[in-house]
């Protein structure tokens, strides 16, 4: 945690880079509680369409949502690389998001992140904080607060 805090003090943050379809997304590491392998998910009837259900995480019930469904991508295909990233934003209950695979952890400075202008045509824009560049790879930085909020 200390390193994360230090990183936050300088203007460089660490991000977990995950793969979703052909794209890379970055999740600020300070929001991440845990990364677990795919496990059996109990479907919750009548819930929002993008929720896969709930899992048992060491005795806690944690809801799990599909980022693919939320972003209107093709539905998940679970492989042995599929991971559930448990997010625990400050002062909030944990929530899991399903990603195709976890690639690496990168450190990006403010300079490497380009803010994107809010494009009204693209619903997805509000889920993003910006686009980071790590070498040749473009990483869409997720706005976690908006991703886990209820609005679509």
Partner 1 sequence: MDVSQYLEIFIDETKEHLQNLNEQLLIIEKEPDNTDTINEIFRAAHSLKGMAGTMGYKRMQKLTHQMENVFSEIRNGKMKVDANLVDILFQCLDALEEYLDNIQEAADEGTNDNEPILKELDAILNGESAKQVEEESKKEENADKPKDGDGDIRKYKEFVYSDFEIHAVQEAFDKGLKVYAITVQVDETCLLKAARAFLVFKSLESVGEIIKSQPSVQDIEDEKFDQMFSICIISDNPLDKVIGVIKNVSEIKEAVGEEISKIEDIKPKEEKEVKEEKEEKKAETAASDAKKPEAKKPAAKPKAGGKPVVNRSVRVDIEKLDVLMNLVSELIIAKNGLISTSSDGTGNNSQSFNEQIEYLERVTTNLHESVMKVRMMPIETVTQKFPRMIRDLSKKLDKKMELVMTGEDTELDRTVIDEIGDPLMHLLRNSADHGLESAEVRAQRGKPEVGTVKLDAYQDGNNVIIEVSDDGNGIDVEAVRNKALEKGSITQEQADAMTDKEVIDLLFRPSFSTAKKVTDVSGRGVGLDVVKSKVESLGGDIEVKTQLGEGSTFVIRLPLTLAIIQALMVELGEEKYAISLGSIQTIEDIPVEDIKYVQTKEVINLRGTVIPLIRLDSVLDIESKEKPDSLTVVIVKKGDKLAGMVVDRLLGQQEIVIKSLGKYISNSSKIISGATILGNGEVALIIDVNTLL
Give the binding site for partner 1 (CB under 8 A): 40, 42-48, 51, 53-56, 59-63, 65, 93, 95, 148, 150
Distances (CA, A) of 47 to 52, 65, 124: 9, 11, 21
Residue 30: which of 9, 11, 12, 5 has the closest Cα? 5
- DSSP symbol at 149: S
Shortest spacing between CB 44 and partner 1, in angstroms = 6
Shortest spacing between CB 122 and partner 1, in angstroms = 24
Query: For the CA atoms of 103, 108, 30, 63, what is the dihedral angle to 10 degrees?
Result: -40
Shortest spacing between CB 5 and partner 1, in angstroms = 27
Tokens coding 20: 């979703």
Of 50 and 76, which CB lies nearer to partner 1 in the complex structure?
50
Shortest spacing between CB 40 and partner 1, in angstroms = 6
Of 41 and 99, which CB lies nearer to partner 1 in the complex structure?
41
Of 14 and 52, which CB lies nearer to partner 1 in the complex structure?
52
Of 32 and 139, which CB lies nearer to partner 1 in the complex structure?
32
Of 29 and 55, which CB lies nearer to partner 1 in the complex structure?
55
Q: What's the rounded Cα separation, in Å, for the pair 94 and 96?
A: 7
Q: On the CB side of 18, how many CA atoms lie within 13 Å of its CA?
A: 23
Q: What's the rounded Cα separation, in Å, for the pair 20 and 24?
A: 6
């Amino acid at each position: 945690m200390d390193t994360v805090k230090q990183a936050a003090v300088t203007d460089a943050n660490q991000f977990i880079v995950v793969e979703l379809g052909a794209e890379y997304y970055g999740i600020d590491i300070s929001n991440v509680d845990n990364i677990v392998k795919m496990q059996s998910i109990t479907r919750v009837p009548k819930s929002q369409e993008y929720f896969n259900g709930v899992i048992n995480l060491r005795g806690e019930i944690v809801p799990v949502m599909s980022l693919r469904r939320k972003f209107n991508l093709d539905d998940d295909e679970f492989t042995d690389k599929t991971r559930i990233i448990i997010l625990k934003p400050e002062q909030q209950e944990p929530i899991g998001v399903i990603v195709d695979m976890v690639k690496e952890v990168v450190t990006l400075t403010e300079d490497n992140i380009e803010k994107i202008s809010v494009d009204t045509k693209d619903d997805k824009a509000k889920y993003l904080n910006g686009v980071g560049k790590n070498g040749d790879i473009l990483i869409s930085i997720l706005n976690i607060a908006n991703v886990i909020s209820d609005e679509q």
